[in-house]
């Protein structure tokens, strides 16, 4: 069989220059991009390493023993992350999500959460601090994370069947340990726990109903994510995407579902509630979500910026390059200068890849190997 060669172009050496403020400096919190979208959500990647090798994200044949991870000195320190988070909050951010790679691999993460938990939104409210994890280390760490000030957690779990799950994480990790991590998160008092399942047609679509049965009525919200063409290494094919409409159809073959309103603007998931015997939504049975990143673009409401492990800002999950804020931090820039840079970067934002996906030519830069990896900027 011919070997599959997957290009891994390293964008990390080519950050974009930070633009100077193009438009007048706006009152804090009123910043919008070229499409009128505010900045509300900052996703922070704290490591580019992971203990799993999910084929849709960090395929083993690319992320092997020869793969060069970032040296420790390149990573933003906790103090640098907290300073940038504070400055992003000064531009309207209300929610922080720690991600990676696998964020629980970053040593002493609790200390970062403690620092972030001291920050407040522009309105003086507590921040919403959450984390996305594969759950492998959650059993050990849930209590300390909660004590440090983490509010919520999202755990990725692609199957309940142990064989399917071990194959998908590709490091033979057992499903029972992730389930124990979810239980530990719940016991630690972490709120509104979510479980994310990436659905790949022909790989784990037969796990949709078992996953729904398992989490229904537990207070945990299960969300089904369409397999996306992020990065340049996962060999993505449209025929492996199972549209959310099909996920909902499968669920409706067994459960009565009622459409629910979005809780916030910019919410990525379409919500469906389980109906009780009276045919009405029963909060005790809970809800599911579907995230249709491929078949139903939600760029119009996208209020998320992503901070890479080494301090570059990416304006879209499908961006090829980021804006280097670490040089500003380490070059002695003042808070005002960095705030102005964030403001100018966001004001110039035009990104809406998912809306354009179908109409972009296959050879366009956005569709080619120039895209940054998800394990580098975080999901
Ligand atoms: N390691 C952590 C985890 O897996 O939860 C955090 C980082 S991971 C990059 C964040 C999220 O991105 C996970 O829920 C993962 O399932 C999702 N993800 C990664 N690659 C994806 C892809 N190609 N399509 C859709 N979701 C993907
Ligand atoms: Fe690791 Fe998360 Fe990517 Fe899986 S999805 S390889 S757990 S970073
Ligand atoms: Fe946001 Fe880019 Fe995703 Fe559109 S494609 S929703 S702009 S991250």
Q: What is the DSSP letter of 365?
A: G
Take atom 7 of ligand 3 and give the residue whose Cα is closest: 352
Nearest Cα residue to atom 6 of ligand 3: 299
Bridging pattern class, strands 270-274 and 257-260: antiparallel
Rounded distance from Cα 57 to ligand 2 centre (Å): 6
| pLDDT band at residue 356 under the 50/70/90 scheme | confident
pTM of the predicted structure, to 2 decimals? 0.92
- Residue 202 · residue 240 · CB < 8 Å: yes
**pLDDT confidence bin for 4, thresholds 50/70/90:** very low
End-to-end CA distance of the chain: 33
Domains and CATH numbers, the chain: 41-377 (3.20.20.70)
Tell how many helices (H) and how many strands (E) occur in the chain: 11, 12
Q: Is the predicted pLDDT of residue 371 greater than 90, yes or no?
A: no
CA distance 116 to 150: 9
Spatial separation of the C-alpha atoms in residues 139 and 232, rounded to whole Å: 32
* pLDDT surpassing 80 at residue 187: yes
**Is the pLDDT at 237 greater than 50, yes or no?**
yes
Closest protein CA for atom 5 of ligand 2 = 57
Per-residue pLDDT, 8: 43
pLDDT at residue 11 tops 80: no
Kindly state if the Cβ of 198 falls inside 6 Å of ligand 1: yes
pLDDT one-digit tens code per residue, 114-151: 999 999 999 999 999 999 999 999 999 999 999 999 99
Size of the chain in residues = 379
The binding-site residues of ligand 3, defined as CB within 6 angstroms of any ligand atom, are 298-299, 302, 316-318, 351-354
Mutation choice for ligand 1 from 50, 51, 57, 134, CB with most ligand atoms inside 8 A: 57
**Residue of the nearest CA to atom 5 in ligand 1?**
133
Residue 195 DSSP one-character state: E
**Residue 167 pLDDT greater than 80, yes or no:** yes
Give the distance (Å) from ligand 2 centre to CA of residue 53: 6
Q: How far is the CA of 319 from the centre of ligand 3 (A)?
A: 9
Q: Which residue has the tokens 């808070």?
A: 335
Strands 128-133 and 191-199 come out as: unpaired
Probe target for ligand 3 pocket from 39, 268, 318, 348, with the most ligand atoms within 8 Å of CB: 318
């Amino acid at each position: 069989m011919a070997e599959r060669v997957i290009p891994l172009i390293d964008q990390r050496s080519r950050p974009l220059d930070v633009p100077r403020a193009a438009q007048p400096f706006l009152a804090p919190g009123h910043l919008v991009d070229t499409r009128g979208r505010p900045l509300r959500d900052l996703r922070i990647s704290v490591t580019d390493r992971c203990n799993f090798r999910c084929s849709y994200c960090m395929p083993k044949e690319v992320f092997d023993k020869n793969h060069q991870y970032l040296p420790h000195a390149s990573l933003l320190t906790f103090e640098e992350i907290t300073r940038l988070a504070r400055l992003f909050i000064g531009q309207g951010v209300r929610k922080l999500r720690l991600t990676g790679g696998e964020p629980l691999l970053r040593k002493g993460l609790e200390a970062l959460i403690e620092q972030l938990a001291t920050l407040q939104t522009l309105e003086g409210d507590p921040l919403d601090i959450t984390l996305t994890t594969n759950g492998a280390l959650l059993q050990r760490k849930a209590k300390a994370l909660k004590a440090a000030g983490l509010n919520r957690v999202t755990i990725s779990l692609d199957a309940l069947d142990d064989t399917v799950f071990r194959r998908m994480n590709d490091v033979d990790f057992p499903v029972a340990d992730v389930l124990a991590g979810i239980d530990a998160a719940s016991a630690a008092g972490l709120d509104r726990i979510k479980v994310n399942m990436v659905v790949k047609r022909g790989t784990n679509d037969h796990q949709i109903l078992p996953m729904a049965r398992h989490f229904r009525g537990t207070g945990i919200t299960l969300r089904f994510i369409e397999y996306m063409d992020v990065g340049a290494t996962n060999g993505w094919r449209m025929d492996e995407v199972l549209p959310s409409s099909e996920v909902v159809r499968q669920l409706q073959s067994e459960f009565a579902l009622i459409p629910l309103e979005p809780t916030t603007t910019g919410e990525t998931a379409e919500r469906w509630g389980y109906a009780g015997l009276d045919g009405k939504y029963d909060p005790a049975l809970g809800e599911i979500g579907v995230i249709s990143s491929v078949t139903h673009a939600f760029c119009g409401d996208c209020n998320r910026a992503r901070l890479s492990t080494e301090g570059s800002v990416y304006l879209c999950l499908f961006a090829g390059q980021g804006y280097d804020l670490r040089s500003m931090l380490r070059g002695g820039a003042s808070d005002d200068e960095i705030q102005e840079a964030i403001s100018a970067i966001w004001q110039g934002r035009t990104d809406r890849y998912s809306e354009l996906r179908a109409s972009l030519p296959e050879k366009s830069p956005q569709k080619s190997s120039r895209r940054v990896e998800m394990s580098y900027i975080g999901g």
